[in-house]
């Protein structure tokens, strides 16, 4: 069976109304606050100016391939949902709707993308792995920026089934993908 998440993302975003944004969430991820949807709506509304340059938004998380998205101090072996919900609430209180520019290609645990920006690209690449990196590069080549929503924390199971922390799929200073 072929895994073509890129095609699924393209089909979905093609169906949403003009002017809307699409949110893609990995199967092994979970938002940690009750009002995450409203918070992201507010962030998008704040971007609704003629001069905003946001092409893609993503979140902070506990286990990820891009160190910029990783929150320092989180125990990567702790899978207690209460622990992660507490972190999510603290991030929301401390950072609210603030955005931080992403210097490196995002890891797509969560991808929030506008249909208008997506339409300017050739869409998500066919396939499974790397579709997040590919769309981020395409968006940046158009002059848009990618941002981390500092106050939106998403718990990410991501290979927590016994793989060592420095195993495949974990960022190190040497393997961050540059733009």
The string over 18-47, giving b where at least 16 C-beta atoms fall within 10 Å of a residue's C-beta and e elsewhere, is eeebbebbbeebebbbeebeebbeebbeeb
Q: For 99-137, how does the pLDDT look when each residue is reduced to its tens digit (9 = 90+)?
A: 999 999 998 899 999 999 999 999 999 998 899 999 999
Distance, in Å, from the CA atom of 44 to the CA atom of 38, rounded to the nearest integer, reads 10
167 within some domain: no
Top-confidence residue, 90 or 162: 90
Tokens 């579709």 appear where?
A: 131
Residue 104 in domain: yes
Q: Which domain does 52 fall in, by range?
A: 5-156
| pLDDT above 50 for 169 | no
161 in a structural domain: no
168 lies in a domain? no
Can you give the pLDDT at residue 20? 94
Does any domain span residue 173?
no
Tokens representing residue 54 in the block? 């946001």
Please state, in angstroms and rounded to a whole number, the distance separating the CA atoms of residues 109 and 61: 8
Residue 178 lies in a domain: no
Residue range 153-158: mean pLDDT, rounded: 90
Query: Which phi and psi angles does 127 have, rounded to 5°?
Result: 125, -165
Give the confidence band of 76 by pLDDT, cuts at 50, 70, 90: confident
What is the average per-residue pLDDT within 158-171? 51
Whether 9 is covered by a domain: the verdict is: yes
Per the structure, the count of domains in the chain is 1
With a CB cutoff of 8 Å and minimum separation 6, the contacts of 65 are 107, 169, 170, 171
Give the mean pLDDT of 142-166.
81
Whether residue 176 is contained in a domain is answered as: no
pTM, entire model: 0.85
């Amino acid at each position: 069976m072929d895994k073509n998440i890129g095609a699924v993302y393209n089909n979905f975003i093609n169906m949403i109304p003009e002017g809307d944004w699409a949110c893609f969430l990995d199967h092994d991820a979970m938002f940690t606050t009750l009002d995450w949807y409203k918070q992201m709506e507010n962030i998008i509304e704040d971007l609704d100016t003629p001069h905003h340059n946001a092409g893609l938004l993503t979140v902070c998380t506990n286990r990820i391939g891009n160190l910029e998205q990783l929150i320092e101090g989180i125990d990567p072996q702790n899978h207690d949902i209460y622990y992660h919900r507490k972190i999510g609430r603290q991030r929301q209180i401390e950072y609210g709707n603030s955005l931080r520019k992403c210097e490196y290609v995002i890891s797509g645990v969560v991808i929030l993308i506008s249909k208008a920006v997506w339409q300017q690209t050739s869409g998500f690449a066919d396939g499974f792995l790397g579709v997040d990196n590919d769309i981020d590069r395409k968006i940046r080549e158009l002059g848009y920026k990618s941002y981390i929503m500092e106050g939106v924390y998403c718990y990410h199971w991501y290979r927590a089934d016994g793989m060592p922390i420095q195993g495949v799929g974990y960022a190190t200073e040497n393997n961050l993908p540059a733009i």
